Amino acid sequence: MSATPKIEPIGAKVPEPRQNDPDTLARQIVEKLTYSICKHPEQARKYDWLRAVTLVVRDRIIDHWFPSTDRVRDSGDKRVYYLSMEFLIGRMLRDAINNLQLTGPIREALKRYNVELDMVELLEPDAALGNGGLGRLAACFMESMASTGVPGVGYGIRYVHGFFRQEIAEGAQVELPETWLVHGNPWEFERRDSSYEIGFGGKVLTQQEPGKPPRHVWRPAERVLAVAFDTPIVGWRGSQVNTLRLWSAQAVDPILLDAFNSGDHIGALVESNKAEAITRVLYPADSHQAGQELRLRQEYFFSAASLQDIIRRHLGENDSLDNLADKVAIQLNDTHPAVSVAELMRLLVDVHGYEWAKAWEITRATFGYTNHTLLPEALEHWPINLFERLLPRQMQIIYQINADVIREASQTGFDGAQISAISLIDEGNGRRVRMGQLAFVGSHAVNGVSALHTELMKETVFRNLHELYPERIQNKTNGVTPRRWLMECNPGLTGLLTEAIGPGFLDDIEKLRDADGLADDAAFREKFAAVKRANKGRLADLISDRLAITIDPGAIFDIQVKRIHEYKRQFLNIIEAIALYNQIRAHPEKDWTPRVKIFAGKAAPSYVQAKEIIHLANDVARVVNSDPSVRDLLKIVFIPNYNVSLAEIIMPAADLSEQISTAGLEASGTGNMKFALNGALTIGTLDGANVEMLEHLGEDNIFIFGLTADEVAQRRREAHSGRSIIDETPLLREALDAISAGVFAPESPARYHSLVSNLYNNDWWMICADFEAYWNTQRELDGLFLTQDAWQSKAVHNTARMGWFSSDRSIREYAKDIWQAGPGKVR
Ligand code: GL7
Ligand code: PLP
């Protein structure tokens, strides 16, 4: 018998470090084309190049991914799990190439085949698994955790259809399905070995043994499978690669074979369709609760899968769950994953046999909760009967938590009104579970996302809970990643800054401060303005290609891009545009500063007023843009389908950023930060993070107007309406009259009657109240733009002073104050 050949133990061979020179990269790209895509370079189509380049980059990420994962496991360091229903990532290739610093060599390698890297990058679909600010923040946080060395794992949902594609037809929004996965997704790895059963419905069995607390066993009526898909998130300079794990729902039995064989071909697939529906689409509701059963299923599905995964990993490395909170921090991104609090209690008590009090201690020490909005319509609460039917054991647990909290409150001397305010059950509204209260009591730290928002949390929605647990609320002001939102989207400015202050700011964005003095340097200002001008040219080209509207890059680019919402007040901006239009026509002899007003943003499909606002913007644009009497002094543009990739072109091209929400209602904003970082001046209210921007920028470098949050609250208490203001403000009255008279919608003059009558009767969003201050500030900005030196000097100060608003800073604060993970170890 011949001897068995000796097999090298797995892992004995570490791959040679890869070379990153253009020759090697070119060879490897062709290798991928040949062996992974099966094409000759001569035959390769555009998408083949995208795939080949992605695979080459991916190999290099994997080289960093293994050691990152091993390092965390071997060190026993605490891991941070970021649970979020949304990750609005956008394209990934440019980010990965930038962070691995391969831009130059890959560009060079592709040139050998006459292929442009920029063209290839633009083919990638946006991963739009989020609605807006909240989801985009989660994406910035994932990148910053990798860049600052926090061992973070993101958990979310792998929606087949992300945020809908918006088209504008005859001025109105049309929603179309988004299909980011049609060309496959080379970034993700399906992990069938990490799949879990998730239950719904059924009943709870209670076993009572004498002298012992009752034991509860949940017997779900339905089960679906959660299957993991992993995407690597590579940090700056490739230092660390973290994992984004997204769950996909599948049926436990993919087909009911008996039904199929007996001829019921559709019935055979019913289970499978029902299961897959859970992760089919992202709910397009931003800042208001979707309120449907499928949404609650989504929330529980991804929370339960993530917790099972976390516990399995923990028990693979530790003897018990006793030390869970020492090794694991779980951050709840808004209340969407708040059911996790009840689910972890269920796992600890029912499955792992912990006593209630001990389980509660572990749970509270493990969770942190971030609140992202105070808008009442956004606060999640579920009807008790729905909750009970879908999650019967979790409902029992919530009742028990509630009883404990109420007991504690009574002992503290809370009265009936205070107790009903903190109760997890809303008794006044058809009996509902309040998810904000559940997240609050189940977490050791609760945070707001800007200083103002955090103070308002203490005074409003969580007033009584704050009184009961006064140490729990803290502030963590949002931030944005400077890699995507400066280096990648604005290479011109990045190059100029590197030349002027050296490359130090690339590793520590707060070093941008070194550029502050350059605001007084005329030669620098000129170069700064030239970069802006080139970026405006790029946006003007996009607008000309997509909309056949010609705009002048010499005009002020005045931009408001964000979700369309009444509180964000796009309507105020449009009314100001109409008033300006009227004035230009009435006084053609005046020295008007040319302006292009640019809008973009999606409305939730069921949000009637938001859709009317989009329609109005488009109607006004049509009339103004075709009126020869305003010449090039005013243009209005609505760019359809706002998404991350469009934002990357828009942010660097803005002169003026519109952050004009009704004070007290925008929790933070992050678009405001991206604009200012790229040298736009802000016109804004004292709301969200604008307040802190004012502190960092200085009052000469930001244009604040309007009512404060306190004044808004006061007016609302006084039942303010717009009527008298409209009567006394001719500019405003004439603009509203024009809308009401159908000047912008001659085919349907009544189209905007309800929008306008709301201003007369109520003015809930303080549009009339703030109109005059807004108008005056805009005219001040007109004057400033004519003195370019002064404008550009302020613009330079904006870029130089925005470093603090980096998500690296936010993440370091979370790591230190909430997660107790990685500080000291945070690079
Ligand atoms: C939001 C806030 O509205 C927004 O101001 C904030 O910047 C963002 C991230 O913290 O969170 N809250 C919310 O529900 N959505 C947001 O964008 C949808
Ligand atoms: N949507 C997209 C695509 C974004 O890039 C951003 C932030 O830049 C937002 C929404 C949030 O914008 P805002 O903070 O202005 O609401």
Residue 313 has pLDDT above 70, yes or no: yes
Question: Which residues, 6 or more positions from 49, have their beta carbon under 8 angstroms from its beta carbon?
Answer: 29, 33, 110, 113, 115, 120
Tell me how far apart the alpha carbons of residues 111 and 22 are, in angstroms, rounded to a whole number. Answer: 10
Atom of ligand 1 nearest to the CA of 688: 5
CB 134, CB 156: distance < 8 Å: no
Atom of ligand 2 nearest to the CA of 133: 11
The residue-averaged pLDDT of 676-682 equals 99
* Tokens matching residue 387: 């909750």
CB 615, CB 638: distance < 8 Å: no
Rounded to two decimals, the ipTM of the complex is 0.99
Most ligand 2 atoms within 8 A of CB, residue of 372, 561, 692 to mutate: 561
Catalytic annotation on 533?
Answer: no
pLDDT digits (tens, 9 = 90+) for 277-290: 999 999 998 878 88
One fold for both 126-174+189-478+812-819 and 534-804?
yes
Atom of ligand 2 nearest to the CA of 132: 10
CB 163, CB 128: distance < 8 Å: yes
* Tokens matching residue 170: 């005859």
Burial readout 483-521 (b: 16 or more C-beta within 10 A, e: otherwise): bbbbbbbbebbbebbeeebeeebbeebbbbebbeebbee
105 lines ligand 2 (CB under 6 A): no
CB 39, CB 113: distance < 8 Å: no
Question: Computed from CA positions of residues 644, 693, 488, 100, in that sequence, does the dihedral angle turn out positive or negative?
Answer: negative
667 lines ligand 1 (CB under 6 A): yes
615 lines ligand 2 (CB under 6 A): no
CB 559, CB 657: distance < 8 Å: yes
Catalytic annotation on 602?
Answer: no
Supply the DSSP symbol for 584: H
Q: Is 65 left (phi over 0), alpha (psi -120 to 50) or beta?
A: alpha
133 lines ligand 1 (CB under 6 A): yes
From the CA of 89, the nearest ligand is 2
CB 157, CB 298: distance < 8 Å: yes
Q: Residue 572: how many CB atoms within 10 A of its CB?
A: 25
Tell me how far apart the alpha carbons of residues 663 and 667 are, in angstroms, rounded to a whole number. Answer: 10
Most ligand 2 atoms within 8 A of CB, residue of 563, 569, 657, 659 to mutate: 563
pLDDT digits (tens, 9 = 90+) for 473-521: 999 999 999 999 999 999 999 999 999 999 999 999 999 999 999 999 9
Which has the closest alpha carbon to 634: 586, 685, 689, 671? Answer: 586
Tell me how far apart the alpha carbons of residues 793 and 679 are, in angstroms, rounded to a whole number. Answer: 10
Q: Which residues pair with 591 in a beta bridge?
A: none
Q: Domain extents for the chain?
A: 126-174+189-478+812-819, 534-804
**In terms of residues, how long is the chain?**
827
Residue 3 has pLDDT above 60, yes or no: no
Which has the closest alpha carbon to 547: 509, 594, 598, 478? Answer: 598
Which run of H or E residues covers position 397? helix 392-412
Q: Which residues pair with 475 in a beta bridge?
A: 448
pLDDT digits (tens, 9 = 90+) for 17-67: 789 999 999 999 999 999 999 999 999 999 999 999 999 999 999 999 999
Which has the closest alpha carbon to 331: 813, 826, 824? Answer: 813
Centre of ligand 2 from the C-alpha of residue 644, in Å: 8
- CA dihedral of residues 646, 649, 655, 661 (deg, nearest 10): 30
**Which pLDDT band, with edges at 50, 70 and 90, does 823 fall under?**
very low
Centre of ligand 2 from the C-alpha of residue 669, in Å: 7
pLDDT digits (tens, 9 = 90+) for 739-792: 999 999 999 999 999 999 999 999 999 999 999 999 999 999 999 999 999 999
Q: Which residues pair with 331 in a beta bridge?
A: 82, 368
**Which pLDDT band, with edges at 50, 70 and 90, does 221 fall under?**
very high
pLDDT digits (tens, 9 = 90+) for 593-649: 999 999 999 999 999 999 999 999 999 999 999 999 998 999 999 999 999 999 999
The residue-averaged pLDDT of 123-151 equals 98
Supply the DSSP symbol for 700: G
CB 146, CB 240: distance < 8 Å: yes
Residue 826 confidence (pLDDT): 37
Task: Kindly report the protein residue whose alpha carbon is nearest to atom 14 of ligand 1.
Answer: 287
Residue 265 confidence (pLDDT): 92
Most ligand 1 atoms within 8 A of CB, residue of 332, 372, 805 to mutate: 372
The residue-averaged pLDDT of 131-136 equals 98
From the CA of 379, the nearest ligand is 1
Centre of ligand 2 from the C-alpha of residue 290, in Å: 20
Atom of ligand 1 nearest to the CA of 287: 14
The residue annotated as part of the active site, out of 51, 562, 751, 797, is 562
Tell me how far apart the alpha carbons of residues 136 and 645 are, in angstroms, rounded to a whole number. Answer: 12
Residue 254 confidence (pLDDT): 85
CB 642, CB 600: distance < 8 Å: yes
The residue-averaged pLDDT of 215-227 equals 97
822 lines ligand 2 (CB under 6 A): no
The residue-averaged pLDDT of 4-17 equals 60
**Which pLDDT band, with edges at 50, 70 and 90, does 1 fall under?**
very low
Q: Is CATH 2.70.150.10 the classification given to domain 534-804?
A: no
Centre of ligand 1 from the C-alpha of residue 373, in Å: 6
Most ligand 2 atoms within 8 A of CB, residue of 450, 565, 670 to mutate: 670
The strand pair at 328-333 and 367-370 is best described as parallel
Residue 753 confidence (pLDDT): 97
Catalytic annotation on 165?
Answer: no
Look up tokens 């891991």; give the residue: 79
pLDDT digits (tens, 9 = 90+) for 92-101: 999 999 999 9
Centre of ligand 1 from the C-alpha of residue 714, in Å: 24
Centre of ligand 1 from the C-alpha of residue 811, in Å: 17
Question: Which superfamily does CATH assign the domain made up of 126-174+189-478+812-819 to?
Answer: Glycogen Phosphorylase B; (3.40.50.2000)
**Which pLDDT band, with edges at 50, 70 and 90, does 432 fall under?**
very high
647 lines ligand 2 (CB under 6 A): yes
Atom of ligand 1 nearest to the CA of 670: 7
Centre of ligand 1 from the C-alpha of residue 482, in Å: 19
Atom of ligand 1 nearest to the CA of 378: 14
Tell me how far apart the alpha carbons of residues 562 and 286 are, in angstroms, rounded to a whole number. Answer: 11
CA distances from 189 to 79, 95, 301 (A): 21, 19, 20
Catalytic annotation on 373?
Answer: no
